[in-house]
Structure 1
Amino acid sequence: MAILYSDASSQAGASSTDAGLFSLDLISPEVAAVLPEGYKMRSLRKSDYDSGYLDCLRVLTTVGEFDRSAFEVRFDEFAQSPGSYYILVVEDAEGRVVGTGALIVERKIIHSLASVGHIEDIAVAKDQQGKKLGLRIIQALDYISEKVGCYKSILDCSEKNEGFYDKCGFKRAGLQMAHYYDSK
């Protein structure tokens, strides 16, 4: 059975200065219960810089090079917008981050001032794929989205991943378009 932390102070390795971005009451106990033995689902912490979080993201895309201080500044920016950023991680029995995903809540004017949950940056370490961690991350983020009052969750994916997200309960609802800018 997987472990679900009840609060930041009970998280192994977490000090009061290393609290997560959000209350762990928002993590689905049903999802946490079906993680592999010894695995934990929790909120991102500053200490995850040294726990494999960036390596996990590198499976997904280019992360770039920056030091711990820059990471902590960005973490603090997320933390200063409570109710907007929900970044969760899955750690293995050794405390290494092996999966992650983010929910960003967009507050709207339409639909009676509704909120929409944007699921982003789903990544699972290559050596952990096949354990349904991606599915569990999606389920956990979708649960958070509903719990915080979003009327829907949306995500973008490549066509090759459409089948996976369909299995997660998502349906094709349009077409994503992008306008990229030159890097500075």
Structure 2
Amino acid sequence: MADASNSDNGGEKQTLKIRRLEITDKRKGYMELLGQLTVTGSVTDDEFDQRFEEISSRGDDHLICVIEDESSGRIAATGSVMIEKKFLRSCGKVGHIEDVVVDTEFRGKHLGKQVVEFLSDHCRDMGCYKVILDCSVEKKVFYEKCGLVNKGIQMSKYF
């Protein structure tokens, strides 16, 4: 666990820590935070716990990080990375960053950049030769500030 940022919030000190997702984070607003990114649907505590265990069983190949505001016990930011094992580049590995979101109350504090750096560092430590992510045109400048470059376009087919 590392300090993400410390700031004064109207006389109240915020202590922000970046760490791996924990099973108790659902009650700290994790699902509501994801809802600021996209549709989450209804997820019961049992469904959350089962999915958490499934993701955790993948070890370091699927990492979800959060930044917790320890003063309030709320999750302020999150992101995830999945590591794809390939045959290309001498059986290399690629990190796929997904679901980066910062709570509206905590935006402007560089937490998104810290999430991307945390996940990128994890990929480097795992021996990945690159990290990729998909984003909207509106987020392009933000990710360029995080050190990523535009390498093409994304294509999707939804089911």
What is the TM-score of this pair, normalised by structure 2? 0.91
Q: Which of residues 164, 173, 176 is equivalent to 2:151?
A: 173
Partner AA of 1:125 in structure 2: D
Corresponding position of 1:35: 5
Native 8 Å contact 2:4 2:111 kept in 1? no
Deviations 1:42-78 (A, max 9, x none): 1001101101111111110001102110001101111
Corresponding position of 1:10: none
Please state if 1:159 is matched with 2:129: no
Partner AA of 1:70 in structure 2: E
Q: Give the Å deviation of 1:108.
A: 0.6
Higher strand share: 2
Please state if 1:49 is matched with 2:26: yes
Corresponding position of 1:72: 49
Q: Which runs of 5+ in 2 are unaligned?
A: 8-14
The aligned runs of 1:11-160 (5 Å cut-off) are: 32-33=2-3, 35-37=5-7, 38-92=15-69, 93-160=71-138
Structure 1 distance, partners of 2:72, 2:64, is: 20
Structure 2 distance, partners of 1:79, 1:160, is: 32
Runs (4 or more) in structure 1 with deviation over 2 Å come to: none
Q: Which runs of 5+ in 1 are unaligned?
A: 5-31
Counting matched residue pairs gives 151
Q: Which secondary structure state, in structure 2, belongs to the residue aligned with residue 39 of structure 1? A: strand
Q: Give the Å deviation of 1:36.
A: 2.4
Q: Give the Å deviation of 1:83.
A: 2.3
Partner AA of 1:175 in structure 2: I
Structure 1 distance, partners of 2:4, 2:74, is: 18
Deviations 1:148-171 (A, max 9, x none): 111100000011110000010000
**RMSD between superposed Cα atoms in Å:** 1.1
What is the TM-score of this pair, normalised by structure 1? 0.79
Structure 2 distance, partners of 1:67, 1:34, is: 29
Structure 2 distance, partners of 1:156, 1:125, is: 20
